[in-house]
Structure 1
Amino acid sequence: MEYRKLGDSELEISAITFGAWAAGGWMWGSTDRNDAIEAIRASYDVGVTAIDTAPIYGQGTSEEIVGEAVREIGRDRVQILTKFGMRWDLAKGNLAMHSKNNEGVDIDIYKFAGRDSIIYECEQSLRRLGTDYIDLYQIHWPDPTTPIDETFEAVTRLIEQGKVRHAGVCNYSAAEMEEAEKTLKLVSNQVPFSMVNRGIEQETVSYCVVNNKSILAYSPLERGLLTGKITANYQFQPGDHRSKLPHFQPDFIAKTNNLLEKIKPIADQHQATLGQLVLRWTIERAGITIALAGARNAQQAVQNAKAIDIHLTQEEIETINEFVNNF
């Protein structure tokens, strides 16, 4: 495994980090708790030391699963990345979405990052995770109803109390990052990035490179689309959010699979899967520090982690880039 520091901090995490959204079941058509714990343990065994989760993933379920897995591994051996600012238990802030929890009950989810809410959320996360500190605490989405300085004054307080080691953001623009930095030093921004979703390269990547902020790319496999296992007639489980997304409609699936066919010879040359090639390409991309990869079981987790074993030549990277640029 390769390990990379976040920003100019001493926090060093695995270049392939375990993404625990699917582990929580919410929006992924349920989860198997034991499989999820085994997936985290298996990924650790092959060098993945960092786990990214959030309270909203299963409304606490993902954090509880991460906490259970970490207890078995040892807290001092891993880095826990979690988030704040999405409340399903408080109707305050900006309504983000209507959804259903894992029991099928309707819930409303709000983007809210007020001072007292953050302090409360942190305590709940620490309890679920079974730890007394969080390595990287990230606002999940911008909250237009709360001043940015109020949000990060609360995070500063948590850092001063030793409950949080480092602060990051998710889904922030360059301007929002700049505003947040007036209150607190950030080390990272977690944003969506994949071969078929490269919007952050226009502004966010440049800002982070110039200001020495790390980018944690989420959905680098585009929620499974870039594994090559999704076909136009793919049947999603009930409750799987992907069935309604534009990227999972037949035309886009066909277009994506055409791209994957073009790069498959490079994967074959390295005796790797398409997913592994995509993950390796992602962390080779300028400005991308970490790739978050989710897994539903141990086999998937190990397969993701072994993407690090691929060593692409500059010629191979340029060939892939040409196909991606023409997508």
Structure 2
Amino acid sequence: MEYRKLGNTNLQLSTIAYGAFAIGGNMWGGNEKKDSIAAVHAALDHGMTTLDTAPFYGFGLSEEMIGEAINGRDRTAIQLLTKFGLVWDGSNQGKGEFFFDAEHNGKPLSVYKYATKANIIKEVEESLTRLGTDYIDLLQLHWPDNTTRISETMEALELLIQQGKIKAAGVSNYSVAQLREAEATLKLASNQVSYSMLNRSIERDLVPHALENQIGIIAYSPMERGLLTGKYFNDGKLKADDHRHGYFGQFDLDRVQQFLERISPVAESKSATLSQLVLRWTTLQPGITVVLAGARNAEQAIANADALRLDLSAEELNLINVELSKLNR
């Protein structure tokens, strides 16, 4: 495993981090607790010491399972990353900015973006309880809340750093303009954003800004929720309530399949999977500090960690990039 310094902080994060969205179950067709706990254990045992979760993932379930999985382990050897700013319970519902309608345990509910100081303080205490810890290594705003001043959100994060409840503060899904406004109040450690072979829009402005201002970039959805594994094109079956039925519709699936077929010889020459090749390519892109990779079981977690063993030559990277340029025309 490789480790990289996050922004201007002292945090050293594993280059591939464990993404805990899927083990929350909601939007992913459920989950198996035993397999999920085993996946976290396998990730840690193979050097993937950075775990990224959020209250919204399973409406608290993902954080609870991460807390259970790390119980009894050396907390100082683990970097816990979680988030705040999405609310759904009765006391907060209707406050903030409406995001979307969801379902939990068969009951409909509405999710709002809500990042006031009072709500942040409340959410952090709930996350600490679920995670079974007394500090969070990196706390991140999950989505921008246009009903709350950015300065108020940043002031709350600054207070939490002073109190020792979080080591560093970051954001997710922020534009360059929002980063600039936030940093007028607080120096941010990172911005977690969507980035993949099929989605490289951040390279235009966000990556140059991050490099210039020592802001780490944490890339989520590098596999485009499993599409770039190639399994979807090989009789991969999704459960009826899996959100990816609609998500994959944004892509030209025939062209994606052809692209994966053209780069698969590179993976095969290294006795690696397409998933490992895609992850390794992503870690080598300028400005990318950490790449999140989800896993539902131990086997998948180990395979993700092993992606960093791939040594890609300049010629191989060029081949992949040439094929990507054809795909994105």
TM category (shorter chain) comes to over 0.9
- How far the C-alpha of 1:30 sits from its partner, in A, is 0.6
- 5+ residue gaps, structure 2, are none
Matched, 1:237 2:243: no
How many residue pairs were aligned? 324
Separation in 2, partners of 1:253, 1:295: 23
Aligned to 2:79: 79
Secondary structure at the residue paired with 1:299?
A: helix
**C-alpha separation between the residues in 2 aligned to 1:290 and 1:157?**
26
State the match for 2:309 in structure 1.
Answer: 309
Identity %: 50
Q: Which position in structure 1 is the counterpart of 2:103?
A: 100
Output the CA distance in 1 between the equivalents of 2:122 and 2:144. Answer: 18
The 5-angstrom pairing of residues 38-187 of structure 1 reads 38-89=38-89, 90-91=92-93, 92-101=95-104, 103-187=105-189
Q: Quote the offset at 1:126 in angstroms.
A: 0.3
Instruction: Tell me the amino acid that sits aligned with residue 153 of structure 1.
Output: E
Between the aligned partners of 2:133 and 2:172, the Cα distance in structure 1 is 22
List structure 1 runs of 4+ shifted beyond 6 angstroms: none
Between 19-28 and 228-237, the greater mean CA deviation after superposition: 228-237
Q: Are 1:232 and 1:254, in contact at CA under 8 Å, matched by a contact in 2?
A: no
Aligned to 1:192: 194
More displaced, 201-210 or 224-233? 224-233
Residue matched to 1:281: 281
Moved more, 312-321 or 234-243: 234-243
CA distance in 1, matches of 2:229, 2:304: 11
- Report the Cα distance in structure 1 between the residues aligned to 2:108 and 2:236, rounded to whole angstroms: 27
Provide, for residues 137-158 of structure 1, a one-character-per-residue CA deviation record: whole Å limited to 9, x for no partner.
0000000000000001011111
Deviation, 1:231, is 2.1
**TM-score of the aligned structures, taking structure 2 as reference length:** 0.96
Task: Give the superposition deviation at 1:222.
Answer: 0.5
Q: Find the aligned partners of 1:98 and 1:240 in 2 and give their Cα distance.
A: 15
Q: TM-score, normalised by structure 1?
A: 0.97
Deviation, structure 1 residue 270? 1.0
String of CA shifts for 1:56-101, please: whole Å, max 9, x gaps.
0000000000001111433122000000000011221111000111
Match of 1:253 in 2: 253
Conservation of the 8 A alpha-carbon contact between 1:138 and 1:168: yes
Tell me by how many angstroms 1:232 deviates. 8.3
Q: Does 1:216 align with 2:218?
A: yes
Q: CA deviation at 1:319?
A: 1.1
Unaligned runs of 5+ in 1: none
> Separation in 2 of the partners of 1:232 and 1:198?
26
